[in-house]
A and B are shown apart, each in its own frame.
Chain A
Amino acid sequence: MHLATYLGLLEDSEKQLTRAFEHVADKHRDEPDIEQICQKFSAWSRNHHGQILGFVEKYSEEKEDEPDKLKRDLFARNRSGALALLRDLHDLWLLTQQVQLCWTVIRQAALGLRDEELKACATYCAARTKRQTDWLLGRVKQAAPQTLLVAE
């Protein structure tokens, strides 16, 4: 059974997302909407992460050591300039996709296991992850033309 492996991947992804939102909030403090919403989203992801830990514990015996292979390395370089905000939002969007897919996978497993608690957790967290993605998409769409066509 690979459930624990995937829970590990999800746990790691939510942790990365928590940190990434925090990083972007801090880095783009001069964009007031970015700072505040990214702080809020960071708190959401931290909360999701906390919820996962319980299930990691619960299914831990079955864990195989593999999640690192699947890890993404975004935000590696310290970008600056006009493109930085757009690229950072871009990477955040990708990370939320990673998290979202993990939740989908976990929810499928929860259905198979008839684990009502895990199912409820996955439903709740997936819905909030979608709200993160939706916001990022809206903000990316707004920033894109100005960044690509006008900013130097």
Chain B
Amino acid sequence: MPETRDSITDIWGPRTGFDGQEQWPTRIDEHTTEAPDHWVQSACVLCSNGCGVDIGVKDGRIVGVRGRAVDSVNHGRLGPKGLHGWVANNSPDRLTKPLIRRNGQLEEATWEEAMSLIVQKSKDLIAKHTSSSIGFYTSGQLFLEEYYALAIVGKAGLGTPHMDGNTRLCTATAAAALKASFGSDGQPGSYADLDSTEAILHVGHNIASQQTVLWMRILDRLAGPNPPKLVVIDPRRTYTAERATVHLAPRVGTNIPVMNGLLHLIIEAGHLNHAYIEAHTLGFEELKATVAKWTPDRVERLTGVPADKLRAAADILGTCKTLVSTVLQGVYQSMQATASAVQVNNLHLLRGLLGHDGSGIYQMNGQPTAQNTRECGADGDLPGFRNWGNETHIQELADLWNVHPDQIPHWAPPTHAMQIWRYCETGSIKMLWISGTNPLVSLPDLARARKILAKEDLFVVVQDAFLTETTKYADVVLPAAIWGEKTGCFTNVGRTVHISHRAVNPPGEARSDFDIFVDYSRRMGFRDQHGAPLLTSTWQTTEDAFNAWRECTRGRPCDYTGMSYAKLSEGSGIQWPCNEEFPDGKKHLYEDGVFATATDYCETYGEDLETGAPRSKEEYQAINPDGRAFLHGVDYEPPHEEPDEQYSLWLTTGRVVFHFHTRTKTGRSKALQDAAPDSFVQLAAEDAARYGISEGDMVEVTSRRGRVLEPARVGGIEPGMVFIPFHYGYWDQADRPRAANELTLTEWDPVSKQPHYKYAAVQLRKVHA
């Protein structure tokens, strides 16, 4: 059976209505181009949902996929990206040999030449400028074992503080918000909570386009008996918003007033779990005082959300007995990102809706393995959710790796991505190693980013499966093996860990990111305190790395000690913590209302949510949260750039359902590419009339940073605002400027350091062809 359903014309497929008493029914979605001779267990890597998938193989080639019926995440279903994205593996334009820049041109080279060059450059730089002249910029798409290897190479081998990922652009706020409220990263609930919940809140999260399979679960609840009520907060009328019981469409940058307004109404109505607040939280009075100013009328004036709609939403959120909330980029990439995301945590804490069936919070991730970038410390965190301010945690890492604790940079938080780029710009980072990502489409203010990568004194290594906008500026390009061509594990946004087995060989000489990092460590001669090679003495396979990782997580919130490659290969994915106490994983965190905030256990001592100033250990001890969660009240601050006479419209950016990230994979799948072939600018009919623009007209959109040309799409958005998807760059079409990030701002949230992609002031002009 080559294709069980057409996911391009019918994105979510037929309904199988159900309610909380039953399990979500199974439906196996499959798309193969030939009959496979065997199937290999894996999970999808095209969004953070992590659907269980089997890879169909015939004659050593991938010929298709089918959803895994046994998997707790998707019960057999797959969305359009999952069903069609695998085609990219077989693209004829995969990178198969290393490339080195010679006389300005990238030329084919051997691995020996490429790695020797990188090692020589590294050693020269360390000798002259210390290892702080070397930075790493990784991804949300590698596997857990690869991140852990990278973290050890960077933190114990080189000892550089400069390591982060593009996860900074997509999910840094998820981690920051969870830490700020609960003391540690980690989503409290399970997807199964959706099966029985009474109400669902989506804030700045177009789940219907982002996690299509999770949306199918919600659609099936809506089609069954006792459907949940749906509250959606999103400035655009998205697919998700269309199904809402109440849709609030606030002006850009006003998430805080809306959330404060909702909390105020809920507190005023007394819809509170006083016993829970008393026993398990800190900061109620301050929060109450902060939100008290946000009466429905005031919220309406500032945000444009009608007072009666706000009341209707507060009524649902204040009276439901169970609630699942999800938050994504509409919050994370906007003004006051962490502060706004935390308000959703506050809502659950005030009502005690956590740690039981039917209730949970998803501070969502975007990319498939972003959770592992964070867990493993390949971003601005330390492995195992350890706290950089806690000397004991640093000592634990030093013991695990058998290095001196001072070898591990912990004088300040690990450098965040935007600061890494800034150090490259000012010249103090002189080598940047980019793995599995394409910043020259995804970074804000692309003109500035291009200038940085073009700098003569910056040595750029890019590790990827394809030539991209970014490889153009590389000094060395390393061909990487991808999903399906290597074995490793990764964790979805719901703490569910999957194993993905190697199904086929990588093309040509392409190597896994794991092999590349381990090889670098060997060639650099990194050693532990006793002179043993840092990685290579114990790590021959990714399974060795996984077993080392298990030890790193022992006793931490993300405890993997009860998992193994064998156990993960048995059937469904498994949720952490998985250990002796919970051998099959755990559905809910914080069931007893005890949070990860004890001083010696927490991942952070916290930050000032308005300024980002780190709190000291002494101050934290004085507060002595001791397992209680934090309620944080934060007042409104207007965005830093607002429309004015010259740039009179708001720009907001986002995704389309058929593409992932910068389309390096999905743009190579004919089905997905044909479904969404080009970028566009979406604007309201009122604005279209004002500028004399009709559907399909070419429109020039200009900001203070740059300009793009996009065909117009009229309708489905509030007047005064325009939307451009961020996926489209130049590798397959370079005839006009079209990347949304030509227009966006270089600025970020003070706590999560996530850039503000969701607003910029722009001007429009119709272009006469």
Contacts and interface: CB of A to CB of B under 8 A. Distances in A.
A37 B611 contact: yes
B614 A150 contact: no
Given A82-B426, A145-B411, A135 B612 contact: yes
Dominant secondary structure at the B interface: loop
A30 B419 CA distance: 11
Contacts of B747: 32-33, 36
Nearest to A31: B422
Interface of B: 129-130, 132-133, 161, 411-413, 415, 418-419, 422-423, 425-429, 608, 610-615, 637, 640, 746-748, 750
Given A145-B411, A151-B428, A152-B427, A134 B422 contact: no
A62 B29 CA distance: 84
B613 A150 contact: no
Nearest to B422: A31
Given A32-B747, A32-B748, A151-B428, A141 B132 contact: no
Dominant secondary structure at the A interface: helix
Contact of A145 (B132, B612, B640, B746): B132
11 contacts: A32-B418, A32-B748, A36-B747, A37-B612, A131-B610, A131-B613, A138-B613, A142-B412, A145-B132, A149-B129, A150-B429
Given A142-B413, A150-B132, A33 B748 contact: yes
Contacts of A134: 608, 611, 613-615
Interface of A: 30-33, 36-37, 40-41, 82, 131-132, 134-135, 137-138, 141-142, 144-147, 149-152
Contacts of B419: 33, 142
A149 B132 contact: yes
A36 to B, nearest CB: 6
Nearest to B640: A36
Nearest to A134: B613
Contacts, number: 73
A31 B747 CA distance: 9
Nearest to B429: A150
Given A36-B640, A40-B611, A151-B426, A141 B129 contact: no
A131 B608 contact: yes
A150 to B, nearest CB: 4
Contacts of B132: 145-146, 149-150
Contacts of B418: 32-33
Given A135-B611, A142-B412, A150-B133, 11 more contacts: A30-B422, A33-B418, A33-B612, A37-B750, A40-B637, A82-B428, A131-B608, A131-B610, A142-B415, A151-B427, A152-B427
A127 to B, nearest CB: 11
Contacts of B426: 82, 151
B130 A135 contact: no
B412 A135 contact: no
A40 B637 CA distance: 10
